[in-house]
Structure 1
Amino acid sequence: MMSFFREGKLVAVIIGILAAYLLFHISPIVTTMNFNGAKQLGAVLQSFGATILTISMITIFYDLLMKSRQAKATKKTLEEAIDKKFESLNSLKASGIESAYEVFPEEDVGTLFVEAQEEITIVQTWIPEDLSLASSISKALLGGCTINVYLVKPGCYASKQRSKEIYEGSITFENEVSNYTHTSIIRLRQAVNQNPYKENLKFYFYEGTPTMAIYSADGVSFVGLYFRNKNSKSAAHFKVGSPTSYFGKTIKSHIKAIKTEATLVPDDYEYKSQQYD
């Protein structure tokens, strides 16, 4: 209905402008005609044309003004709708979460490590062999970074419990996580063995329930979740980009608590089965 009226108004304005144009051109002709009242009629036609033109122009300007107001109102409505739609997303960003991933974002974490300027911190149960982080860690060492890796102590209750959770509660595999933790240390030390700054890669053991996997550098952290029947690299991860945000502060506090209780793994650390008994 509104569209119909707008189209009708447009047609009326066009007709009015054409009528005014014709009246302006006819009035001088009428004025020169040889009959009584010709001059008066010409003047009336000219005045009538001017009136029609004035009304048409006022209509045009009024319509433009109303459209401008309507556009502003529409813009405001859209902005309010968008703000409401993304309110939850804005809340997440305010808490520090910038991105979410279905699995471990290996490439992004590798880039974070290679470009790191300060300390790199890793908190894990173990580091899976199929992750190509060894290369990024080696490059980070060459760049002058200190890398501290905190792994769940092999043989402790938390390590055995996590092993049961991943392997569907089977007692047979309760030492799998302990074995993987050992393998992580040996493999990463071998990977940086020729690196002149290899002494800046340090491993620590901590005893406690692994609540989340953390890969952190320069105030940015990638955090992975632990689920049953699934290792962390195959589970959801999210990126925390601000160390002063809620999650940023929580992660920092969590790492600080682990550091306080962790013990340094000696350079001559070797696998011994009795360590896990």
Structure 2
Amino acid sequence: MRKIALITGATAGFGKAIAERLAKEGFNLIITGRRAERLDELKNQLEKDNGISVLPLSFDVRCYEEVEKNLGHLPSEWKNIDILINNAGLAVGLNPIHKGEIDDWERMIDTNIKGLLYVTRLVSPVMVERKSGHIINIGSIAGREVYPNGNVYCATKHAVAALSQAMRIDMLQYGIKTTLVAPGFAETEFSLVRFKGDHDRADRVYDGMTPLTAEDVADAVYFAISAPDHVDIQDVLVMPKAQASGSLFHREK
């Protein structure tokens, strides 16, 4: 029987690459996101290329009612989720704290922290009942260090790191693994979202260096998933060679 993995934020970036990687490894997938058309396209692609089953669910993780409606009433054949990948997350804006935009703060807090909690609350009880499962939270180098103007985004990713540790403790007696995968600079839609569609500004972020790709992060996730049952890869920091910390880079002239 194929294992089932649930991936939030699967319409682009890390989530899409993780879905593609796990599909190749033979997992059946529940993929979620706000862009229904992209989810349907990904479902069709993955099923055609890999012979697996995919359940697309379009909802916003920020809204508990939507999360409960979709994940609290799964068809029986999809309820026994083996792997939960809390990937949905974003950065919006790059302002000092005294110039921060409240809407940006709320969007990051609601997605990066509350969305992760909502999804985990709906999925983890079945894992506890079965005494089996693996929760993977996608964090960031921003969850280890704070960089200039990163304030609230960094705070949300510090929260993801703390929640990962707490989940590991709470789930220990049930045999459930918890992994934090923390990427550094990666070229996805991340900067485009942070700069609210400003392509020129987003593109300049990666000038003079080779950032991570979404596939690099998907490889790290699968590395954790593929470990033997008695092994829990608890904390993975994945950085491009040109990055030494949250704010220190080597750029070619």
Please report the TM-score for the alignment, with normalisation by the length of structure 2.
0.37
Please report the TM-score for the alignment, with normalisation by the length of structure 1.
0.35
> Is the radius of gyration larger for structure 1 or structure 2?
1
Higher helix share: 1
